[in-house]
């Protein structure tokens, strides 16, 4: 009997990660969910097992721990689980300017947003290549395509890294049947802005700039299946990227500085 595809989703307790779990389960995927909040993942697992009769494994890990990616992979191996889809979704923002936060805060951020997804991709790729099929979605951001703002200093930089990383992996692995894609959403309805304390500012933005997590995920799944190395969901977001690319750098930076005050915490 052909086994069902298995998807590993990081940051699966809420938002885009939980929506990936819902949509992939609906497509018949077994799931491995990982995040810090075990209770939320267990509740989601109960929901999806009942709705789609798929197998779901919950493995709580804090990806800020440098040992977590290896320990997560070892837990998969102990259970005989082979990853067919990797969704590197875990992420958050650090409010304030660069020097307003201590180094450990930045180090944890870089571990979660850059090092952990890189290591997880490195660990699952050999098996995907050997089996001749695999999908990796690195959840980046429109922020990785536009000038970095003041405040939340490392966020845009980390997302730009994921975009370039995904492009290289796409080129290296497409002949082996493995598709890699950077999914670059803009403003998305989720808990992200509640956690960063910017909800009041974000609610002032016009509704046409927002997408639901469901729409972001639907387009992201279609993009990686097509083999798109980079995909920006939403016409407004794609237009923003094109316009910024055509601007002189000085003008783009000026606009970034002006607009970032509307939705970033830039306090020292």
Three-state secondary-structure class, residue 80: coil
Q: Is the pLDDT of residue 264 over 90?
A: no
**pLDDT tier for residue 26 given thresholds of 50, 70 and 90:** very high
Please, what is the average pLDDT of the chain?
A: 91
- Is the residue at 176 inside a domain? yes
CATH number at residue 93: 3.40.50.720
pLDDT of residue 256: 77
Total count of domains within the chain: 1
Higher pLDDT, 246 or 256: 246
Specify the DSSP class assigned to residue 114.
Answer: I
- Is the residue at 109 inside a domain? yes
Q: Angle 15-26/38-52 helices, nearest 10 degrees?
A: 20
**pLDDT tier for residue 196 given thresholds of 50, 70 and 90:** very low
Q: How far apart are CA 171 and CA 177, in angstroms?
A: 11
- Is the residue at 92 inside a domain? yes
- Is the residue at 219 inside a domain? yes
Catalytic residues: 155
Q: How far apart are CA 72 and CA 161, in angstroms?
A: 23
- Is the residue at 1 inside a domain? no
Give me the domain span that covers residue 151.
Answer: 6-263
- Is the residue at 187 inside a domain? yes
- Is the residue at 82 inside a domain? yes
Residues in the chain: 268
**pLDDT tier for residue 252 given thresholds of 50, 70 and 90:** confident
Contact at 8 Å (CB) between 213 and 165?
no
**pLDDT tier for residue 62 given thresholds of 50, 70 and 90:** very high
The pTM of this model reads 0.90
Output the six-digit token pair for 53: 């009769």
């Amino acid at each position: 009997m052909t086994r069902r595809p298995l998807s590993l989703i990081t940051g699966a307790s809420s938002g885009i990660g939980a929506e990936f779990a819902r949509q992939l389960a609906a497509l018949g995927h077994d799931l491995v969910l990982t995040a810090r909040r075990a209770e939320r993942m267990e509740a989601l697992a109960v929901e999806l097992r009942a709705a789609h009769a798929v197998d779901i494994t919950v493995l709580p890990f804090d990806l800020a721990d440098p040992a977590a990616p290896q320990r997560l992979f070892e837990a998969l191996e102990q259970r005989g689980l082979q990853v067919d889809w990797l969704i590197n979704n875990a992420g958050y923002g650090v409010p304030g300017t660069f020097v307003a936060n201590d180094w450990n805060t930045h180090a944890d951020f870089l571990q979660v947003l850059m090092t952990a997804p890189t290591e997880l991709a490195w660990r699952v790729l050999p098996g995907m290549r050997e089996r001749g099929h695999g999908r990796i979605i690195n959840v980046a951001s429109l922020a990785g395509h536009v000038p970095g703002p003041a405040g939340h200093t490392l966020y845009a930089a980390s997302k730009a890294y994921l975009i370039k990383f995904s492009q290289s992996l796409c080129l290296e692995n497409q002949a082996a049947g493995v598709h890699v894609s950077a999914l670059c959403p803009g403003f998305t309805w989720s808990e992200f802005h509640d956690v960063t304390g910017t909800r009041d500012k974000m609610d002032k933005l016009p509704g046409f700039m927002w997408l639901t997590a469901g729409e972001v995920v639907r387009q992201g799944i279609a993009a990686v299946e097509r083999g798109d190395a980079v995909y920006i969901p939403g016409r407004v977001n794609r237009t923003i990227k094109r316009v910024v690319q055509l601007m002189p750098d000085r003008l783009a930076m000026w606009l970034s500085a002006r607009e970032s005050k509307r939705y970033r915490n830039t306090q020292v």
